[in-house]
Each structure stands twice: as C-alpha cells, then as structure tokens.
A and B are shown apart, each in its own frame.
Chain A
Amino acid sequence: MMNNILIFPMLLPILAGIILIFFRTNRRLQIVVSLGAMIAVAVVSIYILHTIQTEGILRLDFGGWIPPFGILFVADSFAMILVVTTSIVTFICLLYAVIAAGKQMNTLYFHPAVLFLNAGVIGSFMTGDMFNLFVCFEVMLLSSYVLLTLGGSKRQLREAIKYVSINIVSSWFFLVALAYLYGSVGTLNMAHIAMRVAEDGQGPMLTTVSILFLIVFSLKAGLLLYFWLPGSYSTPPAVTSALFGALLTKVGIYALFRVFSLIFPHHPELTLSLIGFMAAITLIGGSLGAVSSNDIRKIAAYNVVIAVGFILVGLAISTPLAMEGSIYYLIHDMVVKALLFLVIGAMISLTGTSKIEEMSGIMKNYPLLGWSFFIAMLSLAGVPPFSGFIGKVLVSEGAIQNGNLVLLALALLSSLFVLYSLLRIFRNCFWGETIISKDEQLPLHKGILVPCLILVLLTAGIGLGGEGLAIYVTDAANTLLHPEIYIDAVFSNQQ
C-alpha cells in the first residue's frame, strides 16, 4: 500500500528545525514550534501504526520510482512502534529543557538540533533503502555532535573529539560494507537485497559483509564496542544525556534487528551466535562498570550498556516470544532511560556534585524526586507492575524454550547488577543524614518534576496496560521473523 502520510514523521521535524534556525533569539517561538512539531509527529505516527494493523505494511516510493529503483519509506509495526515512542520521549525531554534549562540553552540552537536529531532517528527507522539508512544515520550523528558540544565546557569538548572520531571511523565501516554489498548484490533496496541474498544463497562474501554491518551497528548501539559510551553520555547536560540514552543506541539496535532478520537470516549459527556472544560480554562489562563507578552519571550510562546487551539477547535467541520481549523492552527502555537521566540531572543540579559519596539525604528535601528515582529503579530491574517486567519475562521464556541457559543466566544476573548499582545511589544519595538544611535548600523548580512524573506514569502505564500494546508488538515480531511479509509489501504494486 502506498501512502503519502509516511513522509510526515520525518518532514515535520526537519521543517520545524529549519524555521527555528532563523529565529534563534525568540525563546517563545522555539518552544512552541518544537513542542508542537513533536506532538504532531506523535499523532501522525500513532495514526500510521493504527492503519498498519488493518491495511498491512505501508510504503511510500519517493518520486514515484517503483521499487527497487527509487528510495522508499517502509512503515511496518516494528518501525512505527519505535517512531511513536521516540516522538513521545522527545516531547517529554523538550518539556524538561523548557522548564529546567536556562534561557541560554533554549536560544542556542538547542531546539533545531533536537529536531534534526529526531528527523535522523525517525528516518533511520522508516527507510527501506540501505544507503538512505546511512544518510539518516549521518543526519542523526551530526545533530548529536552539535548537542554534545552545546555549551562548550572543557569536559564536553574533550569527550566530543573522541565521540566524533569514533563515529567517523564507524561511518567509514558503514560505507565500506555498503560498497561491498552493492558490489555483490547490485542493489540497495533492503527488500530487494533480501530477495537476492535468499536467491543466491548467503555465500562467504555476503557473510563477511554481514559481519561488517554487525561491527558498524554494534559501534552505534554500544554492543560490545561500548567503550566510548560512558564518557560521552555522561558529559552533556541532563536533557541531552536523556535524549542520547533514550534514542541513539536504539537506532543501532533497530538496524541490527532489521539487517539480521530481513537481509542476513540464513546463517543463524554464525551471525546470531556471534550476536549472542557479544550480548553476553556486553552484559558482563556493563554490569561491572555500573557497580564499580562512583559517578552517578557514569552509572546511568553503564545502565544503557546493560540494556543494549539485554535487548540483543532477544535477537540472539530469535524465537517469537524473545522477539516480542525485546520489542517490549525497547519501548520500556526508551521511556525509563529518559526518566533515569532526567532524575539524575535534577539531582546533580540540586547538589552540585555527581559523586555518590558527596550526596546524602536528598529524600528529606525532595521526596517526589526520590520516589521517581525509586520507580525508575524498580522498572529497570524488572519488578512488576512496571514496564521492564513484561520484556524480561518474555525474553527469559524464549531463552528457556530455546535452551539457551547461559544467556538466560547472564540476562537475569544483569538485572541484579542493575538493581544493586541503582540501589547504591538510592541508599547513599536519598537516605542518610541530610546535608542540605531547610534554609539552604535550593528550591526545586516545581515544573522539573512534571516531565519526570509523566515518564513515571508512562512506565507504570506500559507495565499495567501491556495488553493494549500486544497486537502491535505481536505484529512487529511476526514481521521480523517472517521477512517475506516485508518483501511482499515492498514489491506489491497495487497503487
């Protein structure tokens, strides 16, 4: 099915971003336009997600070029679930920026950069063309460079150089992989590549190319190659960290799911076991990092790493249950990582430090903040009724069915490490002797809690109302496990 509405989730942020560049100093306009654009994207993408359930996968061929010749957008349930979550989480993060950040941040190209970042992220989710995926990645990365350096503190600049150079090298790998892929199959349309790979068989050359893609996307997702992540995710302001933690790694994860379920599913004994192995090491490394650090921002960043490992355990197992679990966990993680980073940002701005041992007794002064953190912690550890629970149960069930007990054990152990690392923050920073007296207490901007509370409600809502999402998630998992549905949708020419 062809549908022009598919362009809006990417077009709206781009247009809004371009308009806002010209009105840098107009704070009110910046806020209204960027919040408005994100609401519009959320509404449109929910509508698209809903339409897919009745009409099947939608697609949009740009310029009327019939696949495989043109660039196209393909909207299946998996992509659209992520687009919906992205737009909602971004909206909430922007709300936090509007309330918490000073005038300087709101008028310093922050809003256009976030909007372009979103255009890149959403474009990556929706595109059906390999090279277009690269372009969308670059749009997203360039905006993330801007966001990372916004403010220009010494620490930010230093980390940005590392972040930019590692990403240039990984983009280089992406281009090399694309060149070899084009050289071997002669097409760039994902569905068409999938068809040709299935017809010709996935020979040694193509398997090598698939490993190249694995390296590229692992670098972006922070799977095994996560050494750059804790440094760069813990330097920028809270909102930016929240956006990075919630969105950026998820794009890499999405690409891994798409590429290894659609294009290269033919040698699971090699590719999927490699992913499983990498996920296992990521879980171990992330867990060790999370418990060994004393900086609360670093602990939060290592929690991002653990989540990446956990979600890819689902891909490594690749049973319907595990896939559904991973998708649930992806949605959950986007929401709750934003919450975690926002709460931690508020803690740092209140106490002026990010060291665990220098904070204590925040609970007495700011109880609501404390309980928001508590709920984020429970949700991340997978305690029912919060959103982390469904994902963890389904992935574990899949692992048991598949007999993959090592991954199961590591996935569950990592939850304990998550709980321990966050409990350490909760106990040391929120309880204990109050270091801030009532008179010296910085007034917490009342509004700061609003975005946090919305996210708390979302994580509880997803946990309690998981049934409501079930149809979309089941459909998404089904499409991932049956690539022919995707391929048929791209090549059906009923216009």
Chain B
Amino acid sequence: METLIIILVGILTAVAIYLILSRNLIRLILGTAILSHAVHLLILTMGGLKNGTVPLLGEDATVYVDALPQALILTAIVISFAVTAFILVLAYRAYQELGTDDLEEMRGADDE
C-alpha cells in the first residue's frame, strides 16, 4: 500500500513540475497546488498507513496509528491554502497591471 501511495506521490510531483515549468501563470499556480498535495500524501505515508487502530483511550488495542503526521498535514494544508489564495490574488493583480499572464513577458528589463 505504501509503495502504491509513493508512486502516486511521484506522479503528482511530475504533473506539478510539468505545470510549474509552463509559461502560463495560472498553470504555475495549479502546479504549486498539486505539488503541495503530493507532499501531504508523502507525510501521511511516512507515518505508516492503517497499521493500527485509532489512537483514542478505551480503544483497547495493542497497536495504534501514529496521529502526528495527520496533525502535521492539517497545518501544512492550512498554510498552503493561505499561500495559494495569496498567489491567486497576486496573479490577478499582476494580470491587471502588466496586461499579460505569460511568464516570458514578465522577465522585465533592467532599465526601468
């Protein structure tokens, strides 16, 4: 199961990198969103998948799952949500001001 998820992480990362390398600003943003999903899955997998019961008192089991990676992902999701929201607004403003969403054209000359 872990191996499957790791392969999925790899595919997601590849998709994200393909999107990030494109010239279109919106694709870049979608790429960063997928990139963060990939790493969240990776963190989840690092804690081990479904190898015990819920870590609650009274569950009366010998093995419990590690709850920490889930807490970490929750934090990471909130952060990536904030960053994605920011970069979306930034992209919109940049499009309004610069009149383009092509990254090649956003290089900027030195003499401004």
Contacts and interface: CB of A to CB of B under 8 A. Distances in A.
Interface of A: 131, 134-135, 138, 141-142, 145-146, 149, 152-155, 157-162, 164-165, 168-169, 171-172, 175-176, 178-180, 182-183, 188, 231, 295
B46 A135 contact: no
B42 A179 contact: yes
Given A165-B20, A169-B35, A175 B90 contact: no
B54 interface: no
A370 to B, nearest CB: 26
B75 A155 contact: no
Contact of A168 (B68, B76, B87, B112): B87
A65 B112 CA distance: 54
B69 A168 contact: no
Contacts, number: 93
A175 B94 CA distance: 28
- Looking at chain B's contact residues, the main secondary structure is helix
B30 interface: no
A146 B85 CA distance: 12
B110 A168 contact: no
A493 to B, nearest CB: 22
Given A131-B72, A155-B112, A161 B25 contact: yes
Contacts of A231: 108
B42 A158 contact: no
Contact of B90 (A131, A145, A180, A183): A145
Interface residues of B, number: 34
A158 B94 contact: yes
B29 to A, nearest CB: 9
Contacts of B68: 182, 188
A278 B20 CA distance: 26
B90 A149 contact: yes
Given A131-B72, A154-B98, A164 B39 contact: no
Nearest to B91: A161
14 contacts: A131-B72, A135-B75, A145-B86, A146-B86, A149-B93, A157-B90, A157-B97, A158-B98, A165-B20, A165-B28, A169-B20, A172-B39, A179-B43, A182-B43
A164 B108 contact: no
Report the 3 A-B pairs with minimum CB-CB distance, sorted nearest first. A183-B46, A157-B94, A175-B39
Contacts of A295: 110
A172 B83 contact: no
Given A142-B83, A149-B90, A165-B28, A175 B97 contact: no
Contacts of B106: 158, 161-162
Contact of A172 (B35, B45, B47): B35
A257 to B, nearest CB: 24
A164 B69 CA distance: 26
Given A138-B79, A152-B93, A155-B112, A180 B35 contact: no
